[in-house]
Structures are given as structure tokens and as C-alpha cells.
Structure 1
Amino acid sequence: MITLYRYEIFLDFNGPEYYGNEKIQMVSDEDKLEIDSVGIEILEVKADGNSVRYDVNNDKLVVYSKVGKELEIRFKGRASDKSIVGIYIAPYDNNKKYIVTTQFEASHARRFIPCFDVPYMKARFKLFVRVDRGL
């Protein structure tokens, strides 16, 4: 059962890449968890503070571990300038400025952040975004 998703997202407006640190407060006695994740590079996965084995298969992050309290995922993604699902970056003011938007419905959160992207697994969500000073 998931009680809270907590994300720290680091946006760099010099390019489309972003980095994220995710902490999912949850309890699972399953030996294998399948987390929705499309086009996201997974950098590290920890369960209860310990590094665990994982694979990325068919748009899923597969974690091979039980979770007693917290699952942590470090990841890297890329904002799209072609599609308006997940995270999208769009120019305005004659391409001098950019805006970042997200589109999570119906199942597009998985294109921005690793998550259980199904309606029956809803949970609270905290999102912290870091950008360069002056933006």
C-alpha cells in the first residue's frame, strides 16, 4: 500500500533533460514490484535505504525486493517538445522563453516520473521543483 509519493525534480532550461529523486512511502511483501516508467533512465533504486536489483522491461521498472517502509528511485528524463503527454517544454515570446507543462491523464504520469500509474493505486503526492536562480 502506498501512502505518499515525494518527488524532487531538477529542471535545467539549457536543455530538455531533468533529474529526479523519488521516495515512495509504502509497504509491500511482494518480491517483485512493477512500476510504470516510459522513456525514463533509472539511475539507482533503494528499498529501505539499501540498494536493490532492478531491471527496465517493456515500459516497466521491475524492482526485486520487498519494501518495509520506503522505496527510493533516482532517475533522469527528457522533456518532450513534440508530444503533450508526460512533461512538455514549449517556447513562447518568439522562442526567447520556455514554459514547462505536464499532462498526466489518463495514464501519462509514467512518461514524467516512475509511479504506479493506475487509478486504483491513488496516493498523496508531493512535488518539489528546483530550477536555476533567476527563473
Structure 2
Amino acid sequence: MRRRPSPPSNASGRASPPPPTGRRSHRSPTAGGTPTAGARVAGEAGQRNDDAAAVYYSVGAVDPEAVRSALGHLQAPVLLLAGEYDVGLPPKRAAEYAGLFPRAELAVQPGAGHYPWLDDPEWFVETMAGFLR
């Protein structure tokens, strides 16, 4: 697994926000502990597919060992991106997932929560575009 370095500033040249203090939740640290407008929209019921989730999480829907084995044979490059303060996919867990792929890169977005494309869109686009080149 190759770890993609985190840029010290975003594309606009602004320094990345300092790490927040206190307990974190799903809320964006770049918004002072409150959900950003974009995060609120992304979390609304219209962004969910409850029927698909019911099948996805049903008993016996996947065979974990078969999935791990298949991922270990995938030769395509894979980018896993986690926000520094993401509680849904913490960077430590994202690193574990990246270890399942032979050609994985992990990028941890400084100061971001679970919606990194909303917390710092410039960083997100720069990182994604760099991976796709």
C-alpha cells in the first residue's frame, strides 16, 4: 500500500485548518462542530436507498473470506480516501481496507469529516485528479 501525502494547503493556498479539539462526531470539523450545509443535504433521506441497504446488510449477503480473497487478486489501482476526523471510516480503518488491495493508495484529507468533498472540495478534486492521471 502506498500512502499519498497530504498537501499542506488546499488549492487556493489557504493553510489546512488546525485540528479541532474535543469529541468529534459525524459533523464537519471545518464548520466548528456543526454540519455544513452540504453535509446536511447529503444526509437527507433523499440520499438513501433503504431497499438496497436492506439487501446489502442482510444475513448471508456476502462471504467475507471470498470478498477478501477477490480483493487480494484485483490488479487495478485503488484509492481509498478518508477524512482525518471521519467516524464512519476512520483513517486507521481505511488503512486496514487499503491493505486488502495489492495496488492501493490511501489519502487522508486533513481536517475533513465523512464528507471530504464538501469539507475541502479543492483538496478532494486535486487528490482524485492526481490519482486518475
| TMscore range, shorter length | under 0.3
Structure with the higher helix share, 1 or 2? 2
Q: In terms of Rg, which structure is larger?
A: 2
Structure with the higher strand share, 1 or 2? 1
